[in-house]
Amino acid sequence: MKGRPEALNTVQLLRVASAQLGIGPQQAMHLAERLYLSGYLTYPRTESTSYPGKYDFHGIVAALAKTSTFSDFANKLLQGEMRNPKGGKDVGDHPPITPTNKSASRDSLHGDEWRLYDYVARHFLASISPDAKFIKRNVTFKTGQYEFTLSGSTSKSPGFTEVTLK
């Protein structure tokens, strides 16, 4: 089993933007703040990885379900696959970084702005999705004096990886 990710904080956002999206930290923060000011993301400067008690998960997922990019996966969550997020840590500043009820599309955002929003939306959906489940197998065989071991895993239930591995 591979557990779904914790909610997104600023450090994790900047780390992923730099390492996986090729967007430097300063540019990523500038983009995140612009997305916040445009109403697409929650406040992007936070150390918290714990959602407030009465967070509107359903409303955000319903908004994401209206966009072609996220509709299939978001609708699965709305039809009963939504899970409670991991506990995380509330440091008392702001809630984790998530999309808002004003969802974006490839038509409304472009370039790095879209790529960053897409990552935040997928991470949010993953954080309230089922865990991924795998079947692991190990095979050992001998031939003459040599012993070989083969290890592998097969997806039993993709869970959150269905939305994060695009």
Does any domain span residue 123? yes
Q: Which two tokens stand for residue 52?
A: 């407030």
Q: Is the dihedral of CA 4, 129, 94, 106 positive or negative?
A: positive
**Are the CB atoms for 89 and 138 separated by under 8 Å?**
no
Residue 78 has φ and ψ, to the nearest 5°, of -65, -25
Does any domain span residue 81? yes
User: Structural domain of residue 25, as residue ranges?
Assistant: 10-164
Q: Quick one: angle between helices 111-127 and 10-19, nearest 10?
A: 130
Give me the active site residues, please. 43
Distance separating alpha carbons of residues 33 and 40, to the nearest angstrom:
10
Count Cβ atoms below 10 Å from residue 166 Cβ, excluding itself. Answer: 8
Distance separating alpha carbons of residues 164 and 166, to the nearest angstrom:
6
Does any domain span residue 2? no
Distance separating alpha carbons of residues 118 and 107, to the nearest angstrom:
12
Q: Which CATH number does the domain housing residue 33 bear? A: 1.10.290.10
Does any domain span residue 74? yes
* Local confidence pLDDT in tens for the 166 residues of the chain: 899 999 999 999 999 999 999 999 999 999 999 999 999 999 999 999 999 989 999 999 999 999 999 999 999 999 999 999 998 999 999 999 999 999 898 899 999 999 999 999 999 999 999 999 999 999 999 999 999 999 999 889 999 999 997 6
Does any domain span residue 151? yes
Does any domain span residue 5? no
pTM for the complete prediction? Answer: 0.89
Does any domain span residue 131? yes
Based on the structure, what is the number of domains in the chain?
1
Does any domain span residue 28? yes
